[in-house]
Structure 1
Amino acid sequence: MNKIAFIFPGQGAQYVGMGMDIVENYRAAAEVFDIANESLGFDLKRLCFEGPNEELIKTENTQPAILTTSIAILKVIDELGLKAEITAGLSLGEYSSLVYSGAFKFEEAVKLVKVRGKLMQETVPLGVGTMAAIIGLERDVVEEVVRESSDAGVVECANYNCPGQIVISGEVKAVEKACDVAKEKGAKKALKLSVSAPFHSSLLRPAGDKLNEELKKVSIAEMKTKVVSNVTAKIIENESEIRELLSKQVFMPVLWQDSIEFMIKYGIDTFIEIGPGKSLSSFVKKTAKKLGVKVTTINVENMTTLSKLKEFLS
């Protein structure tokens, strides 16, 4: 019997057309987009399916768009009778996890992540902050790189994605210096990312504080499924922790590799990535390989990948 985890993507996974063929084929998925449109007061469905891309990539649009697409696909998976023992989501994806667990109502979560996106975008003026992916260095070396580069400004580890891939975040000059230092220390690549803000760095603490105020307005119900927090890489034990963890998550590193390791040790052998893209599946494979463990990963983002999931279930 497979032990299943659902995992949900974060910002950066979006593309024009995401979720479209699933919505055309499944009423339950279409209903999720209708609820999102009504909750947000604008045509999110049209933005996801038709673009334009420059509107979709605005953080305050990207976040509700990915959440809605993930939950729409989740509803279809739910109709197949598939259940997860535990879930996790990368950054924004944690909100999809919390909707699945029953802690958040979708119609409240979709409004919340739009505000979250706006706060994350507005806190640091455009051009001040950036992020970069460091490929091919061990964690302790990347941590040394950011320490050595911090005389140029704020630079911190932001996403521990998988072995050999860590994203750093901070002020432009400091991040650029860290990229140079990383290359000197043998990084295969040090690539600046096309993001508009230094996510998951201490520069975003004011956004976390403001988000905490927004979270106070949202009702949180009892969780029916275990959720692993980005901030702690452990199961959220109590609903009362959710607000604080989500506030911290904005300006603290995402412990994604640690979260996957935790779930593998928990006994999970099958990871189903629900939503646009398939980068999480690749992070899971690399993490499992380092642990010397074999796991199954399936990403579900359209009718083709959904049919692969059905084959797996049969």
Structure 2
Amino acid sequence: MSVAWLFPGQGSQSVGMAGEWLRSSRCAREALDEAADVLGFDLAGLMDQGPEAELADTYNQQPALLAASVAILRAAYEQLPEPSFVAGHSLGEYSALVAAGSIGYPDALRLVRERGRLMREAGQRQPGRMAAILGLDDSAVEAVCAATPGVEVANYNAPGQVVISGTVAGVDAAVESLTALGAKRCVVLPITIAAHSALMAQAAEAFATVVDRVAPMDAAIPVVANLSGKPIRDAAEIRAELKGQLTGSVRWTDSVLALADAGVTDFYEIGSGRVLCGLVKRVLRERAGPAPRLHPMETPPA
């Protein structure tokens, strides 16, 4: 058995997330106490009681999702098999880097809080749009994005499931073209932040200086990187990954394939929800051999 730990990103939050772990585990509660000390507010209360709109604000959502993943990881640590790899989807990469020993938890909290602030300001300065495109080949979506000013592929989540991002006009025009091409569904996401696009360039430039101050260390466990879909461990590569992530595409399909090619059989999703388990199943469903074993950890095992 070869194991990968996976960590979810934005969109997986919900009021009450990690609640069962927090009620049953002192280690989990201590992770939230530590977050409150670092951030200066009651993050656990927001996670447990909301309001939902405040939790969904990227400025709060990013540290909340990181804290939920770290709380679950600490609570379940002795039950979890040792991983050969870790990976995180977008924001989840910070949780993966904490798990891999590259970034300390307090530094990661500060990083994602600042990341959220800069992304929120970018969305206020120039509102953008994101849309999920279902049922078309990646190449068809890429061609439409290349022909449409102001839009690009943000997330390659699974075959036939990608997310585009960019200006409101660009995404709307691309959605119209992709619908005409035969997309099964085009779902405009209820956000004004065009993550993983050129609209984040100013935020990325400011964030780069924050990353340099933190100085990630070499990872003790290989981290499959969003930007390349390949394992990295070197501190300089990790620093470049974090700097490029705000404007670069999340290559989750390639990441899952790389894990499978490396012999990973068991995927543990450590955090809120079970979206990543679903994506792993979708990416690998046509692959020969045994089906992957999926282990969502959003609640304690029965």
Q: Same fold (TM over 0.5)?
A: yes
Distance 1:292 1:187, change over 3 A: farther
- Aligned to 1:216, the other structure's residue is in SS state helix
Mapped partners of 2:276, 2:142: distance in 1? 22
Bigger CA drift: 285-294 or 166-175?
285-294
Corresponding residue of 2:94: 95
Q: Is 1:127–1:172's contact at 8 Å kept on the other side of the alignment?
A: no
TM-score in terms of structure 2 length:
0.97
Whether 1:58 and 2:54 are equivalent positions in the alignment is no
Whether 1:286 and 2:282 are equivalent positions in the alignment is yes
Q: Of the candidates 297, 306, 313, which is equivalent to residue 294 of structure 2?
A: 297
Mapped partners of 1:81, 1:285: distance in 2? 20
Gaps of at least 5 residues in structure 2 are none
- Aligned to 2:82, the other structure's residue is in SS state coil
Bigger CA drift: 203-212 or 136-145?
203-212
TM-score in terms of structure 1 length:
0.93
Corresponding residue of 1:217: 213
Residue identity (%):
38
Count of aligned pairs between the two proteins: 301
How far apart are residue 279 of structure 1 and its match? 1.0
Q: Is 2:220–2:233's contact at 8 Å kept on the other side of the alignment?
A: no
Mapped partners of 1:249, 1:79: distance in 2? 31
Corresponding residue of 2:231: 235
How far apart are residue 298 of structure 1 and its match? 1.3
Mapped partners of 1:274, 1:76: distance in 2? 11
Q: Give 2:297's aligned amino acid.
A: V
Mapped partners of 2:52, 2:166: distance in 1? 25
Q: Give 1:132's aligned amino acid.
A: A
Gaps of at least 5 residues in structure 1 are 308-314
Distance 1:268 1:107, change over 3 A: same
Q: Is 2:126–2:199's contact at 8 Å kept on the other side of the alignment?
A: no
How far apart are residue 59 of structure 1 and its match? 0.4
Q: CA RMSD in A?
A: 1.2
Q: Is 2:265–2:292's contact at 8 Å kept on the other side of the alignment?
A: yes
Corresponding residue of 2:247: 251
Mapped partners of 1:89, 1:21: distance in 2? 22
Q: Is 1:7–1:274's contact at 8 Å kept on the other side of the alignment?
A: yes
Q: Is 1:236–1:242's contact at 8 Å kept on the other side of the alignment?
A: yes
Mapped partners of 1:36, 1:291: distance in 2? 41
Corresponding residue of 1:311: none
Mapped partners of 2:81, 2:262: distance in 1? 19
Bigger CA drift: 157-166 or 211-220?
211-220
Corresponding residue of 2:159: 163
Q: Of the candidates 186, 191, 195, which is equivalent to residue 191 of structure 2?
A: 195
Q: Of the candidates 260, 263, 266, which is equivalent to residue 267 of structure 1?
A: 263
